[in-house]
Structure 1
Amino acid sequence: MPYLKLTDDAAELYLGTEGVELDEANPENRFQQAWLEQVTGLIDEAIAARKPLIVSATGKFFSNGLDTDYVFANAGALPAYLDSVHQLYAKVLTVPAPVIVAVNGHAFGAGAMLALCADHRVMRSDRGFFSLPEAALNMPFTRGMAALVRTRMPDASATEAMLTSRRYGGADAVAAGIVDEAVAADALLERARDVARERASLVGDNQAAIKRGLRLPLLEDLNTPTPVTLL
């Protein structure tokens, strides 16, 4: 399960399990209900620490997105489940501190969208893809998810990513404006920590106020309940 490390420079949130490269309970860091609750609680702890927030993971995946086993087995609960995912995005988008994501592996679907919520995105250059596979899987985007992609990526890249399910490696993701930079795996976390140190003086309530103003239409879309007619 996810865990938080507090250092002098940042609060580092890891989406995987501490000391484990392959978590048998959730090897792909999918958005299981318990996982969502724990990540939300750890973000609250990070906010209380008043430090920049770094989000990364362990193992092969940053996150493979929605818990599809739960989705297919609980169609009636799907709107509430998706609303909880939206609330996680809204929380990350309004953290009163700089948020830096270090994409250590595959970021697919809802996991890729979580990465888009960060203020600065660093991706591993040698392995791992960013992809929105919904078109290939014949799945729709919710209103909030579509708004998130549309406002956090350049229009041409959002159109390509959403309509073709293209997989972007690190260099391609930089070229498409999806991430800010791509670095070697052994430099990934240190680069994220560098950005955290550079922006440490910005931590505070004013950061959240600016983010809410900047992202108000997106937050309104994320806070719109998911209709039962989505699927």
Structure 2
Amino acid sequence: MTTLIKRIDHGDVRELRLDRAPVNALNPMVCAQLVEALRGAVADGVGGIVLSGGPKVFSAGLDVPFLLALPDRDALKAAWEQFFLAARELAACPVAVAAAINGHAPAGGCVLALCCDYRVMASGPYRIGLNETRVGLAAPDGIQRLMRRVVGAHRAERLLVSGEMVESEQALAMGLVDELTDIDGVPARALAWLQALLQLPRKPVLATRAIARADVVEALRPEHIGLDHFVDGWNDPDTQAGLRALVAKLGK
């Protein structure tokens, strides 16, 4: 089986690197391996996890050409379920996870980053955001909750409705990411944040973190995602036209 998640240990911290060239598009195999890698890291007793991607693209989000080629609604729903399982695994991880956003992070890439505790992004012309409306999709309530949590209700509304992708400096200013650094240093800064956290008394930190992040876990509960309704929206003719236009544009 092809390994799509690289595991790199840095003392008590394990880096899990998305490794599906060229842009770390998320298909069910990537998502399943991410779930397995997260569970394995916890079972191995790591103190924290860095989730990285790159180069220049942290993750381009869901693999749209793959999803468009699926034979029926059941297969499509199963693929989306695997993605949301990976998001829930990140959100509910019992140890802190720092996202090393070393490049662009649209759509599903942004969702994974929002599920993490801390976000370090590459400075420069790299963009992050939930651009679903631009291809004819409505972001589920649970995903909107994640965005509101970090940027506030009014700004989240503006970003979500317009599907705007913001560059790293703007993302930092609005609180969508926590820190910027040069692209080659992103994983190291994420690692440094975790290592500083590990210097604090462990039990109180983990107990406080669990309380503080309860809303992240709650946001991703199935009733807040409404997967059947989301899949219906995906299959809407206007949405299909938008998605196929996107694929054609990417292919040029």
Tell me, yes or no, if structure 1 residue 38 matches structure 2 residue 33.
yes
TM-score by length of 1: 0.86
Instruction: Give every structure 1 segment of 4 or more consecutive aligned residues whose post-TM-superposition deviation is greater than 3 Å.
Output: 201-218
Count of residues in correspondence between the two structures: 223
Deviates more, 1:35-44 or 1:184-193: 184-193
Q: Which residue of 1 aligns with 2:148?
A: 150
Aligned pair partner of 1:179 in 177, 180, 186: 177
Aligned-partner Cα distance in 1 for 2:201–2:211: 16
Q: Which residue of 2 aligns with 1:80?
A: 78
Q: Which residue of 2 aligns with 1:123?
A: 121
Deviations 1:66-97 (A, max 9, x none): 12123323351333332322221221122222
Tell me, yes or no, if structure 1 residue 2 matches structure 2 residue 26.
no
Letter of the 2:47 partner, please give it. Answer: K
Any unmatched runs of 5+ in structure 1? 18-22
In terms of Rg, which structure is larger?
A: 2
Q: Which residue of 2 aligns with 1:165?
A: 163
Aligned-partner Cα distance in 2 for 1:117–1:203: 23
The 3-state SS of whatever aligns with 1:136 is: helix
Deviates more, 1:140-149 or 1:59-68: 140-149
Aligned pair partner of 1:55 in 39, 51, 54: 51
Aligned-partner Cα distance in 1 for 2:83–2:146: 12
Higher share in helix: 2
The 3-state SS of whatever aligns with 2:161 is: helix
CA shift, 1:53, in A, is: 0.6
Question: What are the residue-to-residue correspondences of 1:82-231 with 2, within 5 Å?
Answer: 82-201=80-199, 210-224=208-222, 226-230=226-230, 231=233
Tell me, yes or no, if structure 1 residue 14 matches structure 2 residue 17.
yes
The 3-state SS of whatever aligns with 2:193 is: helix
The 3-state SS of whatever aligns with 2:132 is: coil
TM-score by length of 2: 0.79
Residue pair 1:93, 1:211 contacting (<8 A) in 2 also = no
What value does the CA root-mean-square deviation take over the aligned residues? Answer: 2.3
Paired-residue identity, %: 25
Residue pair 2:27, 2:79 contacting (<8 A) in 1 also = no
Structure 1 residues 128 and 176, CA gap change in structure 2 (3 angstroms):
same
The 3-state SS of whatever aligns with 2:94 is: coil
Aligned-partner Cα distance in 2 for 1:229–1:165: 19
Residue pair 1:2, 1:39 contacting (<8 A) in 2 also = yes
**Bigger relative contact order (CA 8 A; separation at least 6):** 1
Residue pair 2:5, 2:19 contacting (<8 A) in 1 also = yes
Any unmatched runs of 5+ in structure 2? 234-252
Letter of the 1:143 partner, please give it. Answer: D
Letter of the 2:52 partner, please give it. Answer: S
Structure 1 residues 94 and 201, CA gap change in structure 2 (3 angstroms):
farther
Aligned pair partner of 1:69 in 61, 65, 71: 65
